[in-house]
Amino acid sequence: MDKITSCSDVSQRTIQIAFFMPEQYWSGSIALIVDVFTGINMLREQAGHYDTPTYNTHFLHEPDMYPKGLSPCQFPLRPLDAEHYDVVVIPAIWSITPKALAQYSQVFDWLRHQQRSGAHFVSITSGAFFLAEAGVLFGEDITLHFAFQSLFRSLYPGNRVRTDKQYLTSGKVWSSAGLSPTFEVIYQLVRKYSGEALAQVCARYFMLDYHVQPPVEVADANSRDMLISAVRDWLERHYYQAPTNQDIARQFHMSARNLNRRFASETGLTPQGYLQNLRLERAAKLLVSTKIQVEHIALQCGYSCASVLGKRFKKQYGRSPLAYRNYMSRHRGSD
């Protein structure tokens, strides 16, 4: 862990925290940090810690883009500027691919400028992609959400992904693999800039739980095709859109032929065969766990109508969707 900054080094000044706001940002990963630091500004006075700094937050975006989050929550956005910030936070992003990263142009220079100015970086679940693309992760370990680990490894093989940790708070780049371990990162930030005493006040007030069990690595990463693992992760989030092989290949900057070859080698299935299984499995779960009409289930799973789902479903499960629902209902009732 970094050496804790002495309160005397930062007292009587404001710590400037900049959030880079990408497209599809996860509002909750931003709001929880903002709320904690807003609360600290009040707690420092209530607890009499007048010699500690206050915190100010900024929300910056790529100049030619106006990003939208997944929820209606809004933030006072403004374009990237030339100011120096003490802390730069890249929040969680719902979905990220090489194609999505290619939309950005100025943020990578901005991140390098912040690095030269001595900024402290924080990656929340998937923000590390921007830091790696900008080259500011050199020599730093990183942790990130399991759904993005395969893609990250394939794009940035020179960076070590720590699957044995859910948060890292050492060096100039701190990271978390999910929202819960993000609280530990926040706690350590308060500790770094405001000192141990106010950090303990913060921990008690916000009931921060920073004893998170590390994740388990379920397979040897070196034995897998990381890019195809990333494709599979992406398909599990986008199966309902029924993407074609060309759609999938474009997302990962591959040719459709290369995609088919590598996907079959890794999974034994074609991309469309794998996608079909995902859609049918989802339909089966909805049939059993809900009372949604088959027509609506078909649309949710990427089929144009109930009859198309019905043909595929009967071939896979040996029953029509309604017959499967009735069978499973009777079977569960007899358990």
Q: Using one digit for the tens of pLDDT, what is the confidence trace for 115-166?
A: 999 999 999 999 999 999 999 988 788 999 988 999 999 999 888 899 888 9
Query: Contact at 8 Å (CB) between 97 and 233?
Result: no
Rounded Cα–Cα distance for residues 189 and 231 (Å) = 34
Share of the chain above pLDDT 90, in %: 42
Q: Give the chain's length.
A: 335
Query: In this predicted model, which residue has the larger pLDDT, 263 or 70?
Result: 263
What is the mean predicted confidence (pLDDT) over 87-103? 91
**pLDDT(176) > 90:** yes
Domain over 7-206 is classified CATH 3.40.50.880: yes
The pLDDT value given to residue 127: 92
Q: For 133-146, what is each residue's pLDDT tens digit?
A: 999 988 788 999 98
User: What residues does 124 pair with on adjacent strands?
Assistant: 176
Domain layout of the chain by residue ranges: 7-206, 225-334
Q: For 301-323, what is each residue's pLDDT tens digit?
A: 999 999 999 999 988 888 899 98
Would you state the structure tokens that stand for residue 254, as one six-digit string?
Answer: 């591959």
| Closest among 84, 87, 165 to 123, alpha carbons compared | 87
The pLDDT value given to residue 322: 92
Max avg pLDDT among 37-51, 214-228, 292-306: 292-306
**pLDDT(210) > 80:** no
| pLDDT tier at 335, thresholds 50, 70, 90 | very low
The pLDDT value given to residue 208: 63
The pLDDT value given to residue 206: 74
What is the mean predicted confidence (pLDDT) over 290-302? 90
pTM for the structure as a whole: 0.64
Quote the crossing angle between the two packed helices 226-238 and 146-155, to the nearest 10°: 140
Cα distances (angstroms) measured from residue 42 to each of 53, 167, 232, 291: 11, 27, 46, 49
The pLDDT value given to residue 61: 96
Considering the chain, what is the average pLDDT of its residues?
85
130: enclosing H helix or E strand: helix 128-134
Specify the CATH number for 225-334; select among 2.60.40.10, 3.40.50.300, 1.20.1260.10, 1.10.10.60. 1.10.10.60
Cα distances (angstroms) measured from residue 143 to each of 2, 9, 37, 115, 226: 17, 29, 23, 19, 16
Max avg pLDDT among 2-6, 18-22, 212-216: 18-22
